[in-house]
């Protein structure tokens, strides 16, 4: 079992840095939500910051890729994502079409490079 | 259960969690750990932030701060969706589990599906939908983890690319205002610059800066209009 879950320390980090930070905001919504205006300016800022943090994470995975993705040349990673985004826009925002095209470009490019 | 199977978003969610499983494997986390994160955290972006910050050497405190800030967006989601489930007889404790299940996919699906469900059965429906989605995602996480370990590097790279692709496109689709679009574009552009500083909280610095600039532009445009 210990091999499956890893060290107790890692699980503690999961609870403290992963579970609690999310659950706090959900429960805050449950307890104090009644008085908050959904269209308020604070929430516009919250959404903008949350979006930008997520954008930063996307950029991090592309710029400093983990594991097997690091074996793909920079231009091919960026090109595949750009192609996926272009198809997404052309297909009236179909996430499915965008993801599939990006993946095909990556696989075809890597295969072509050998 | 048929509601779980029928959503297009489930497919995107499946792809996302395949990516999370693969990312966890390549960042040297255990399978039990990443499954625990799917069950307990139940928020794709937060899991990606947690795995990629811890995986790139950040401390638990730095990771916790980044996750806490990114998770604030759950608050307005909970606030807006809970009134759909309430009846005059509903107690707060009846909503705790349903509240835990709220993340972006369930939030969108609640708006789409709950109006078709009789009000007194909506909490039970949300529990069913939530359990179904968590189960699907735990399977996807396991599959992604195992595939990243077993597949040749070409396909392992393809699974890892699912995460940035799926998140970029689903975030782009959720953009409602100019501030959202700007936050996305600036956030992408600013991170590579800030990461050169190598502060350990690069994500946080670039995110708060880009988000605040985006909000500033929104505020300035609103004022110009008024």
Phi and psi (nearest 5°) for B79? -60, -40
Smallest CA–CA distance from B86 into chain A, residue: A30
**Res A34: pLDDT:** 65
With an 8 Å Cβ cutoff, is B54 touching chain A?
A: yes
Contacts of B198 in chain A (CB under 8 A): none
The total of other beta-carbon atoms located within 10 Å of residue B177's CB is: 15
| pTM of structure | 0.81
The whole-angstrom distance between residue A32's C-alpha and the CA centroid of its chain comes to 28
Torsion angle of C-alpha atoms B189, B192, B194, B198, degrees rounded to 10: 170
* Residues of chain B found within 8 Å of residue A45, distances taken between Cβ atoms: 211-212, 215
**Contact (Cβ atoms closer than 8 angstroms) between residue B44 and residue B184:** no
Alpha helices in chain A (DSSP H): 2-5, 8-13, 20-32, 41-63, 74-90, 95-113
Mutation target to probe the B interface, by most B beta carbons within 10 A, among A43, A45, A53 is A53
Contacts of B155 in chain A (CB under 8 A): 107
Nearest CA in chain B to A23: B100
Residues B79-118: tens digit of each pLDDT? 878 888 888 888 888 899 999 999 878 887 887 889 899 9
pLDDT for B4 equals 59
pLDDT reported for residue B53: 85
Closest CB to A56: pick one of B22, B47, B203: B203
Tell me the C-alpha distance between B138 and B41, whole Å: 12
Buried residues in A56-92 as b, exposed as e (16+ CB within 10 A): bbbbbbbebbbbbbeebeeebbeebbebbbebbeeee
Tens digit of pLDDT for each residue in A64-98? 887 788 889 999 999 999 999 999 999 998 888 99
Q: What is the least distance, in Å, from the CA of A20 to any CA of chain B?
A: 8
pLDDT tens digits, residue range B140-171? 999 999 998 888 888 888 888 988 898 899 88
């Amino acid at each position: 079992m210990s091999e499956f879950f890893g060290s107790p320390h890692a699980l503690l980090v999961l609870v403290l840095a992963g579970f609690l930070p999310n659950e706090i905001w959900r429960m805050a919504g449950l307890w104090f939500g009644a008085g908050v205006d959904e269209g308020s300016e604070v929430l516009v800022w919250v959404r903008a910051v949350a979006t930008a943090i997520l954008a930063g994470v996307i950029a991090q995975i592309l710029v400093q890729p983990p594991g097997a993705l690091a074996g793909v040349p920079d231009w091919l990673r960026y090109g595949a994502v750009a192609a996926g985004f272009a198809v997404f826009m052309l297909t009236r925002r179909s996430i499915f079409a965008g993801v599939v095209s990006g993946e095909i470009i990556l696989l075809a490019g890597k295969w072509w490079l050998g | 259960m048929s509601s779980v199977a029928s959503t297009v978003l489930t497919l995107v969610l499946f792809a996302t969690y395949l990516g999370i499983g693969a990312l966890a494997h390549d960042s040297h986390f255990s399978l039990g750990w990443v499954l625990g994160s799917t069950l307990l955290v139940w928020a794709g972006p937060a899991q990606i932030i947690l795995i990629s910050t811890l995986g790139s050497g950040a401390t638990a405190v730095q990771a916790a701060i980044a996750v806490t800030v990114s998770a604030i967006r759950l608050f307005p989601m909970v606030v807006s969706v809970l009134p759909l489930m309430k009846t005059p007889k509903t107690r707060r404790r009846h909503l705790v589990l349903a509240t835990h299940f709220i993340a972006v996919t369930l939030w969108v699906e609640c708006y789409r599906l709950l109006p078709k469900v009789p009000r007194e059965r909506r909490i039970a429906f949300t529990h069913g939908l939530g359990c179904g989605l968590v189960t699907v995602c735990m399977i996807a996480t396991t599959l992604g983890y195992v595939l990243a370990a077993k597949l040749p590097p070409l396909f392992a790279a393809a699974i890892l690319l699912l995460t940035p692709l799926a998140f970029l496109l689903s975030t782009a689709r959720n953009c409602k205002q100019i501030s959202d679009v700007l936050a996305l574009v600036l956030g992408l552009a600013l991170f590579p610059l800030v990461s050169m500083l190598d502060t350990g909280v690069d994500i946080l610095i670039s995110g708060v800066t880009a988000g605040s600039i985006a909000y500033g532009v929104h505020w300035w445009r609103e004022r110009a209009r008024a």
